Chains A and B, each alone.
Chain A
């Protein structure tokens, strides 16, 4: 068995367009006046076919339309892409097909079409449940619209998740407690709860660098936010299965699990990354980020994806640690050692275990609830010991 098979194979499709750019967002998203959706569909299809030729005969467990704002795609575009994928690989019986959607009324109107196209899971970018904060986050929708979109989504799809951003400017613990309680009530089994991150190269990043972004929580308050979030979600039966992802048992996002469990995935679209194993050698892929350039490359005979530099055993192990330890379920030490081609040194683990930050049970290394908020520091130690 090749290593990736422990987690399986999925397809990520990146749609790089949004209606407007949110001030906190550093995703590869662009605002475009006109988009020729047919041309884009053809380009995606060409790339999917090329990729399938590189890794043929796979069983496709998941497809994920991410962005940008994939809910700006016409249902026909989505359908064409899904069909291309299904005819290029063997679909798993329970294939999960997710589409990220913004909770505006225009998008909600397309939900039926997406369902028809084969989408069976939707992830809605709700972000906040009060209009003041939605505005401060630069979002185009209102709480009323978001709730309506959520209703329609829950009626249209088997599985629906939504995203909230917390630890926002001037947010108090009490406000977040009320908001999250409400969200847990609205949820149908999956929630992504992200602490606001100030990213370089965004409007917030710029303001922050100039000292103009006020009211952000201190490290201690941020930690309190995180703890409160864990408490409320645990009590509601939606514990974190990953740092920022909460689900009722069985409702986890299977596509994202492929990333965290270091499976293989094809990344199609501007700026998309992939990991593909060929003849037991794992290759990272990264596509051109600029939409126009990507489109031109995809339309050229050579295509976008190139697989030149394989990951070294050490890089593979680092990625497995970085991604895998985000999961509450942890990683397999045997798998880690196999990637490394030698046993992982136990001393690094011992130190962290004595601090109560990680836990080892038989083959499984996991980060404890106490260690999770310190994950970066824990990873630095574990990776440093390689």
Chain B
């Protein structure tokens, strides 16, 4: 057990790519938590997909020991958080477990949209904040200008912001010292009944359900019987450990400490992020306030390519949801696709990440239906219905009007790209709310329909500004508009999984883009295939995929029989990623790709 004043808990927050994970690497390395030979870049980004995409998706916690200049050794619990807007829930959740934040700002880029969003969250969580100016090794770094910007735009004191290079290690000693001297120790009462916050949980193939906690009051020990206050489930602690970052067993955790336990938890549903854990007997009276649940904004159907994989899919989704409280799911059936799940996500990247993880970590092949936001249908009889799935759209004669979610988007962009940004927002039915300047960077605020932003706005934004713009948004309200359901017909048959809600004025353009894209995504068949977009019975766009003309092996003699057989098996494996609609096979990627617009 560690004395409270020798503990510091903090999160590292920043805009995407400003160097949080690299800074975490240096802190881990400088304190000798991990031997040099075992270090690798962004070592906390341990998932394959984090490493491939070079971004953090899950918040990660590490306990390090730091012998400070005052001669005492401190226990530091650091939480590295993701920067991308789709994973903002990870950040807000993490902040509840700690008392301070290191605000990292890339000194060559300056304050960006998520810098703002994250720092405001930290302030809301009551954190003390230490600003850190990273990447000062870059020739383009302008630490002084960025300091001024932090003060102007964010409004916090940046006079003792610490200049560092997380890459080279410059300034890391100052960061460690500042953590100890400028961030507060946690509070808590060792003698009070146990009160611990369930910060995170995940499924481990060997250990089963692993639960991460932050102890507020009291002490938890191996062997203790504990109760989850929301679900009332009771378990005995099998293993108690801290993450360094690998698990190291520990006898007990006291106030202010962060660690993990396992308890032979069978019911994945018993562990809810934000829940309070106490002892079965002599427990605490009141639970912690819990976390505000995340509000999924993009929905899509996930179906197994092979109908027999429904149960494995259910199992996989439950286990993954354990690790990601921001994702929601419920069972769904579709005429064409059979049994699956309607899932909610915080954005399209989040959707892609979850789908990827399900496929890789649980070895499933999935069909993703066209993503959609939630529309509100105001029926003529006064009822208001949520429409999560365009396929469920009732007959128009019963509908009075339809509302869609709108967002307030904040975009920061260098002056020279402002024109492109304004055009992009205008094209997406945006209404400009504000435009201001901080130096040569413009900050524009737009009111936009969420549906126009969710799929590819972020990608477009990055490409029209060569990556120099940043973007953040919050949902503002529901508003009526002229919205219609556009269906897609492939070979004269409607494909529900591709239908979508669109603004009437944009329907032709979207329909045209969709059918053109599908024409490229669907492979040629032995017959020609009309691909149409329609509103009701009216076709608004049409393309024809011509029939396959040649697919024949030129030479096939004695030795080739075996080879040909193998080839056929390989083709069959490729076909696994296709789904049959009537006589047509549609590749699984088509459902999302078709929605990404090129203009």
CB distance from B159 to the nearest CB of A (A): 55
Report which of A322, A373, A384 forms a contact with B564, defined as CB distance below 8 A: A322
Return the chain B residue nearest A266 by Cβ: B558
Are B551 and A376 in contact, CB atoms less than 8 angstroms apart? yes
In the assembled complex, the Cα of A377 lies from the Cα of B551 at a distance in Å of 7
Whether A19 sits at the interface, judged by CB under 8 Å, is no
Find the A residue at minimum CB distance from B564. A322
Whether the pair B550, A323 counts as a contact (CB closer than 8 A) is no
- Residue numbers in B under 8 Å from A273 (CB-CB): 558-559, 561-562
Contacts of B552 in A (CB 8 A): 226, 243, 372-376
Pick the most buried of B527, B551, B571: most chain A CB atoms within 10 A of its CB: B551
A223 within 8 A of B: yes
Which residue of B554, B562, B565, B568 is within 8 Å of A380 (Cβ)?
B568
Docked CA distance A274–B551 (Å)? 27
Residues of B within 8 A of A379 (CB): 568
CB of B556 within 8 Å of the partner chain = yes
Report the nearest A residue to B561, measured CB to CB: A319
B556 touches A243 (CB 8 A): yes
The verdict on B192 contacting chain A, using a C-beta distance below 8 Å, is: no
Interface residues of B in 540-557 (CB under 8 A from A): 548-557
Binding site of B, secondary structure by majority: helix, strand, loop or mixed? loop
A286 contacts partner chain B, Cβ-Cβ < 8 Å: yes
Across the interface, which residues of A come within 8 angstroms of B556, CB to CB? 243, 259, 322-323, 326
Taken together as a complex, chains A and B put the C-alpha atoms of A256 and B560 apart, in Å, by 12
A274 pairs with B562, CB closer than 8 A: no
User: Chain B, 496-528, contact with A by CB distance < 8 Å: what is the 0/1 string?
Assistant: 000000000000000000000000000011110
Q: In the complex, what distance in Å separates the CA atom of A223 from the CA atom of B559? A: 26
In the assembly, what is the distance between CA of A233 and CA of B583, in Å? 35
Residue of A nearest to B553 (CB): A376
Is residue A83 within 8 Å, beta carbon to beta carbon, of the partner chain?
Answer: no
Is B548 a contact partner of A195 (Cβ separation < 8 A)?
no
Is A259's CB under 8 angstroms from B526's CB?
A: no
- On whether the beta carbons of A219 and B549 are closer than 8 Å, the reply is yes
Q: Shortest Cβ distance from A51 into chain B, in angstroms?
A: 14
Chain A residues with Cβ below 8 Å from B527 are 355
Which of B350-397 touch A at CB < 8 Å? Answer: none
Known: A378-B526, A379-B568. A267 touches B559 (CB 8 A): yes
A271-284: CB near B (< 8 Å → 1, else 0) gives 11111000000001
Question: Is the CB of B479 closer than 8 A to any CB of chain A?
Answer: no
Digitize B416-460: 1 where CB-to-A-CB distance is under 8 Å, 0 elsewhere.
000000000000000000000000000000000000000000000
A357 on the B face (CB < 8 A):
yes
Residues of A within 8 A of B (CB-CB), count: 45
Which of A197, A226, A274 makes the CB contact (< 8 A) with B558? Answer: A274
Say how far B343's CB is from chain A's closest CB, in angstroms. Answer: 31
**Smallest CB separation, A228 vs chain B (Å):** 12
Cβ B554 vs Cβ A244 within 8 A = yes
The answer to whether B269 has its CB under 8 Å from any CB of chain A is: no
Residues of B close to A101: CB separation below 8 A: none
B572 on the A face (CB < 8 A): yes
Q: How many Å from the CB of A105 to the closest CB on chain B?
A: 27
Q: Is A194 an interface residue when CB atoms closer than 8 A count as contact?
A: yes
CB distance from B548 to the nearest CB of A (A): 6
- Shortest CB distance B524–A (Å): 8
Are B568 and A322 in contact (CB-based, < 8 A)?
A: yes
**Contact pick for B555, options A244, A267, A352, CB 8 Å:** A244
Residues of A within 8 A of B571 (CB): 380
Q: Cα distance A355–B548 when bound, in Å?
A: 12
- Residue among B550, B558, B562 making CB contact with A374, cutoff 8 Å: B550
Does residue A265 face the partner (Cβ distance < 8 Å to B)?
Answer: yes
Docked-complex contact B550 and A222, CB < 8 angstroms = yes
Contact status A383-B553, CB under 8 Å: no
**In the bound complex, CA of A326 to CA of B557 (Å):** 10
State the CA gap A226–B551 with chains docked (Å). 11
**B565 contact from A195, A275, A322, Cβ within 8 A:** A322
Complex Cα–Cα for A229 and B460 (A):
48
A220 at the interface (CB under 8 A from B): yes
- Give Cα A362–Cα B524 distance, bound, in whole angstroms: 32
Instruction: Assess A243 versus B558: contact at CB under 8 Å? Given A379-B568, A380-B568.
Output: no
A379 to chain B, nearest CB (A): 7
B561 A243 Cβ-Cβ under 8 A: no
Distance (whole angstroms) from the CB of B245 to the closest CB of chain A = 40
Residues of B with C-beta under 8 A to A265: 558
With A322-B556, A377-B526 as contacts: A259 and B550 at CB distance below 8 Å:
no
Chain B residues near A355: list those with CB within 8 A: 526-527
Q: Which of A30-51 contact B (CB under 8 A)?
A: none
A65 at the interface (CB under 8 A from B): no
A17 proximal to B (CB < 8 A): no
The answer on a CB contact under 8 Å between A319 and B549 is no
| A12 contacts across to B, CB distance below 8 A | 558
Bound Cα distance A226, B550 (Å): 9
Contact A375-B551, Cβ < 8 Å, known A243-B556, A322-B568, A380-B568: yes
Given A318-B568, A357-B526, A380-B568, A259 contacting B561 (CB threshold 8 A): yes
Alpha-carbon gap, A372 to B526, bound state (A): 12
Taken together as a complex, chains A and B put the C-alpha atoms of A374 and B546 apart, in Å, by 14
Per the bound structure, the CA–CA distance linking A379 and B553 in Å amounts to 11
Expressed in whole angstroms, the Cα–Cα distance for A267 and B554 within the complex equals 21
Contact B555 A223 (CB under 8 A): no
Q: Return B585 CB to nearest CB of chain A, in Å.
A: 11
Distance in Å from the Cβ of B137 to the closest Cβ of chain A? Answer: 36
Q: In whole angstroms, what is the CA distance A378 to B562 when docked?
A: 18
Evaluate contact between B551 and A373: CB separation under 8 angstroms: yes
When chains A and B are docked, how far (Å) is the Cα of A197 from the Cα of B553?
Answer: 8
Chain B hits for A357, CB < 8 A = 526
Residue A315 CB within 8 A of the other chain:
yes
* C-alpha spacing A374/B556, complex, angstroms: 15
Q: Quick one: given A322-B556, A384-B572, are A286 and B561 in contact (CB under 8 Å)?
A: no
Interfacial chain A residues near B558, Cβ < 8 Å: 12, 259, 265, 267, 272-275
A372 proximity list for chain B (CB < 8 A): 552
Which residues of A have CB within 8 Å of B564? Answer: 322
B550, A373: Cβ atoms closer than 8 Å = yes
**B555 contacts A197, C-beta separation under 8 Å:** yes
B532: min CB distance to chain A, Å: 21
Chain B residues near A322 (CB-CB < 8 A): 556, 561, 564-565, 568
List, in ascending order, chain A residues with CB within 8 A of B562's CB. Answer: 273, 284, 286
CA distance A66 to B557 in the complex (A): 11
Bound-state Cα–Cα, A319 to B527, Å: 26
A375: nearest chain-B partner, CB-CB: B552
Residue of B nearest to A166 (CB): B554
Given contacts A197-B554, A244-B555, A256-B557, are A374 and B526 in contact (CB under 8 A)?
yes
Q: B558 — nearest CB in chain A belongs to which residue? A: A259
In the complex, chain B residues whose CB is within 8 Å of the CB of A220: 549-550
- Interfacial chain A residues near B524, Cβ < 8 Å: 219
Given the known interface contacts A197-B554, A259-B558, A273-B559, the answer about A374 and B548 at a Cβ–Cβ threshold of 8 Å is yes
**A248: shortest Cβ distance to chain B, in Å?**
21
The CA of A325 and the CA of B337, in the complex, are separated in Å by 34
Note all chain A residues with C-beta closer than 8 A to B554. Answer: 194-197, 243-244
Contact, CB under 8 Å: A318 / B526? no
Extra inter-chain contacts (19) besides given A197-B554, A322-B556, CB under 8 Å = A196-B554, A219-B548, A243-B552, A244-B554, A256-B557, A265-B558, A273-B561, A275-B561, A315-B565, A318-B565, A323-B561, A351-B583, A375-B551, A376-B552, A377-B525, A377-B548, A378-B526, A380-B568, A383-B568
**B interface list, Cβ under 8 A from A:** 524-527, 548-559, 561-562, 564-565, 568, 571-572, 583
Cβ-closest 8 pairs across A and B: A223-B549, A273-B559, A223-B550, A375-B552, A194-B554, A376-B551, A373-B550, A259-B558
27 contacts between A and B (CB under 8 A): A194-B555, A196-B554, A197-B553, A197-B554, A219-B524, A219-B549, A220-B550, A222-B550, A223-B549, A223-B550, A243-B553, A243-B554, A243-B556, A244-B555, A256-B557, A259-B557, A267-B558, A271-B559, A273-B561, A319-B565, A357-B526, A372-B552, A374-B550, A375-B551, A375-B552, A376-B551, A378-B526
